[in-house]
Structure formats: C-alpha cells, structure tokens
Structure 1
C-alpha cells in the first residue's frame, strides 16, 4: 500500500468564501460560495448523496477503496459499531469563511442515536491556518445559562445580536486549536481559514439561517425545531471549561516530533498533529505512528517515507495514508497537518 493523492473536492455551500482554499489547492472556484473542501470523505452531505464523497484521480470513490480493504486502510475489519462499511472514524475539511458563519449546533451522540439513526454525533474542532480582519474570532457556547423558551423565541425571531451577545467570543490566531463539543452553539468569524476535523456526519441545526441562503425549513434536520432545540446545551461554558477547549502551537516551530494541534480534550474524538521537521543542514524527520490519517501539506516541500517507499510532497497537496503502511515519516522543509481518528477508535466512548 502507499499514500493516495487526493484531488480537490471543493463544494458549494450556503455561505461565501474559498479564495485562500483555491490558492492553496491550485484550483479556480465555480462561484463565490465554495468555502469548503472535504478530504478523504467517506460520508456525503446530509440529504445529498452525490455531494461530499471524495474521489480519486480516476473517478473512483475513496469510500470504495476503504470498503474493499478496511483492515489495510484503518487497521480494523470494520469501523465504529453501527457505522457504514467505509467508516474511517472522522471527516476532515478545509473551511475558508468569507463571511461570519451562522450560529449553529451539532447533535451529541445520544441525540443522534435517538433521533437521527446514527452512532456518531458531530463534535468538531478547528486548527486555525490564517485570519483576516482587525478582530478575528470564533464563538463557542453560552456565557451564562440560557432559558430554553427564550432561546426558542430568539431563534424564531432570528435575533442574531442576542445570540452572539450571549456566547463566548474567542479571539484566534494561526496555530490555535479549538474544540467544539457537540451540543454547543458556535460560529466562526469572517476571514477565518482552518482545517476542521469532526465526527463523520453532516448534522447541523441552524439557530441562525437568515445570514445564509438556507431557509428555516432547511435548518432543523427535518425534526422540527421543538425537537431540534432539545439538542442544544443551555448551560454556561465558563472560563475554566473554555480553557480546556483551546490550545496553541506556534506555526514557526520546527521539531523532530509531532506537535499537538488540538487540546487534549479532543483526543477521544480525533487528533490533529503538526509534522514540521527541523530545517538545519541535515534533513529532519518526524515519525507518525501507524494508523489511518489524512496528511495535508500546509507549506514547503519534502517527502513521505515508509518501509519500501517514498513520495515527494509539496504545498497544497493532501493524501490519504493507510494503516497498512505501518509507521511513516515526514522529512524535509514541509509543514504537514496529520489528521487521525480518536484514541481508542473504533470503540466510541
């Protein structure tokens, strides 16, 4: 087996953005609303089976490769209990927001199991690549407990000022990692370019649809808001808890080991680590442990190496790396984001 180069898989969405994504991946956008790319995706967009799934250069669905050899790709004969036959434990995206995203919520695993017939909810995390504007920020969770009836009324009225005003605003910079637990309302600000990792679903409950092309009827997962809003956490996320959701790694740092890109609280869901070998007179090397991974070359050039093979890598490329490769290495002047399933996967805790 060998790493598989992933061609661009940029998709239309209900919000604007995508110019930095297009520049990194070397493509021309079809519209001003192409802010996302799904990488090594074996799941599709909710309600749209033909949107989101990754394909190889020859048009083959990446999911078919995994389904044909799950042990080779993931190290296990099947994914999480109750998941599909091509489950790899996570979904990886680029997200390049040209506008503030709407306030929205993703369901927890218990809510998804009860109402959406899924073993996965949608906890997610962001590793910030670039920011624009004078006040780059994201919002996660409410600052104080919120009355469910008032929240429902504010959502019905599309009161954006109230929603944002009651949430934790977090200033961000490149190298920041932010975990967004399922159930927590959240939004990213305009100008944020990031790598997103999440549980492999496309479940979103929009609390604010008026700033997008989505409608009210498209905002509650066909559950109705009476049910959908039960998936929202109304309790405060205080400073101490908020601190556990954040981590920073200096984008200029080079090291001979993987650098953590997300807070430890993310580990049971997914991991993002940065491989940036030293750039001294002798080429550096970072070892990546065996297991399925999505490797994104954020900058520079170098090589991926494994027992019996090597592959040159360059800025803007993305690879699906199979577990069957064994331990592998990143060498040279490249800076690579390594996205992997959570510790303990395919068991779900």
Structure 2
C-alpha cells in the first residue's frame, strides 16, 4: 500500500474522486450534468457513493471491488479512503468515534438519480441485521431531494409505507403471485419536489420512483431485500439479489407491518428543515436532526459571503451542491465547485467556506452517529 502522510493529510480537506456504482436500475444522467460531464446519459451506474468505506453488494459482480471511495495523494498515487482511515482512525474519525466504531465511519452517503422506478424493497433494522447478517448496522436512511425530472410523462415520486388494511398474509400473497400492481397499490404514492426530506427507517416498505434526484444518507451497509423478481424495465432480478441469501420467507419477515394513513406517513417520516444558525455570511439549516434518528444527521449550508466552522472532534462528509468558492483550513485554500465531494478529517479544528461567483455556495454536510 502507498505510504500515507497521516499528519499532513489529516489537517486538510480531502478531495474525493468520483465513485459511480452499478445497480439493478438505470439512471445517472442528472448526476453527469451536475458534475459537469461533457456527455450526460443514463446507464446502470445511477449512484455516486461519497466518502464510502463500504463495498457494494451486487450479485454476479462479487469479483469486482465496487463502492470504495478513493483519493489522489500528493505524489500522484491513488489510495482508498478506507485505507487512509485505517492508517489512524483516531486522527481521521475522532477519538470518541474511533473508540466506539474503530475504523468504520458509521455512515454512507450517496447521490442518486433514477430514470426508472426502483424495485419495491425494504432494509433491515438493527435487530434484524444483527440476527440475520451478523452486522452492527442496519440500513435506516434518509433522502434529501435536490431535483428531478419527468420520465414518460410522470413527475418524480416515491412509494412509502403500507396503507391501512395491508396484512402480512396479503403481502405474502401479492409477492407469491408477483402481483406488482397490487404491491404498488399497497403503499402510499407521494409526489416529491426539490427540498423534500424523508426519513426511511429500517423495516419500512418503500421504492424510489422514476425521476428522483436526491442525496441519501444511511447506515453503512448495502442490505436491500426486494419483492420484485423482475425490474420495471423487464430485467430478471436473481433470487440472491431479492433475499440476500436468507430465503423468501425470511425476507418477508424483514418488513414492519405497521399500517398508516397518508397523513400519518407524512407526519412521521417527512421532515421539515429547521434553521440552526444564521449570520450575515450564511445560513445553516438542519435537514435530519439527531432528534429524528441516532444513526446520522445532515445539514445544508448556504454561504452568501463567508462562513466559518469550528471542528467538533469528529469528521464531516461535504458535498458541494451548487455554486463555487473556496474552502480554507490551516494548510491553505482549496477551490470548490458544484459536484465536488470532500472528507473533512476530525483533526481539522477550523475551516472557512467562501462564496465566489454569482450564486450562493450551497454545501450539504453529513455527520456520523452521535453528532
């Protein structure tokens, strides 16, 4: 492995390379456009994984190392963020975090663009993940909608939560018969627009519809259980990709069979942004608070001129959503622009964001558990 200058690297913003990941659905054109690529198109790489130390689980592609974020060192060599953190977890993640989680970040962030509806799915809660996958993490997640598009005449939407009257027996029957319209009708359909925030707790049935462009923050696993054996575009989903080796009966036990009205779903899982701090230089808004979940948190920073941030002893994952400017730390100034992603080590005690250009600089800040 390349030698890592821990002292030098831990005192500066770490710019991450693009990490596109293969999935069972198509999309990604809006990510290409957002990243400023000359040729933007939909493909089977519809997700950008950010500051990931998690390997993607793709049936039939197990021989490939997918999902691990990488960076370029000063000597031009490349190294994974996972190896960087492993070289000194305390310095990069923070003392308290490293004592609890070792060299695991405890969080995974993605940018996702769907040109087709994802298969109907569920993720395990922590109890289920511990029992069935021997994992300390489940896959509770949250979505922040950053845009979207109309696909085949349909506006962006998500499917979320069981409607009143749905029972485990009915759901199993729909699955056994592969009654896709019936399964879709068993969940609430919610149109989405830019700025919407959803908390998706483990066990809740859901599906991201076509045309959704969003940032997803989640527990650091790739456990997805799917009830459709064929994708909306007609691709066969292998059994292993549906039940992750658990078998179909056990897969169905992952669902929480609580039912809710549409208003109850919105009240429980649709989150309203809240202002944390406002100054002449910028605005810090909470999207997912630590009172919403103990799994992670996410803020939006809008920089009108300059905005300074103090370190709090843990790392931050930053996504430059819009605009351009600079990020200054103790080792100097770094230019930033739309589509850039950074890992900000815990050792950084202070940094300053500054706007350049006509529009405000907007940055999404993602935090691990306990912040």
TM-score of the pair, normalised by structure 1: 0.89
1:216 Cα shift?
Answer: 2.9
8 Å contact 1:127–1:194 — kept in the other structure?
yes
Q: 1:286 to 1:277 in 2, by over 3 A?
A: farther
For the residue of structure 1 that corresponds to 2:103, the secondary structure is coil
**Aligned residue runs from structure 1 range 208-223, under 5 A:** 208-211=228-231, 213=235, 214-223=237-246
Tell me what 1:55 maps to. Answer: 70
Tell me what 1:91 maps to. Answer: 108
Matched, 1:285 2:285: no
1:86 Cα shift?
Answer: 2.6
Tell me what 2:7 maps to. Answer: none
Tell me what 1:261 maps to. Answer: 287
Matched, 1:197 2:227: no
For the residue of structure 2 that corresponds to 1:331, the secondary structure is strand
Tell me what 2:266 maps to. Answer: 242
8 Å contact 1:100–1:187 — kept in the other structure?
yes
For the residue of structure 1 that corresponds to 2:85, the secondary structure is helix
1:7 Cα shift?
Answer: 0.9
Tell me what 1:32 maps to. Answer: 43
In structure 1, list runs of 5 or more residues that go unmatched.
Answer: 345-349
TM-score of the pair, normalised by structure 2: 0.84
RMSD: 2.3
8 Å contact 2:13–2:342 — kept in the other structure?
yes
Matched, 1:142 2:154: no
Cα deviation code 1:160-209 (max 9, x no counterpart): 21112111222211111111000001011111011111000000000123
Answer with 1 or 2: which has the greater Rg: 2
Q: Distance in 1 between matches of 2:310 and 2:244?
A: 38
1:12 Cα shift?
Answer: 1.8
Q: Distance in 2 between matches of 1:24 and 1:241?
A: 31
For the residue of structure 2 that corresponds to 1:111, the secondary structure is helix
Count of matched residue positions in the alignment of Structure 1 and Structure 2: 335
**Aligned residue runs from structure 1 range 308-323, under 5 A:** 308-323=331-346
Q: Distance in 2 between matches of 1:218 and 1:130?
A: 29
**Aligned residue runs from structure 1 range 161-240, under 5 A:** 161-211=181-231, 213=235, 214-238=237-261, 239-240=263-264
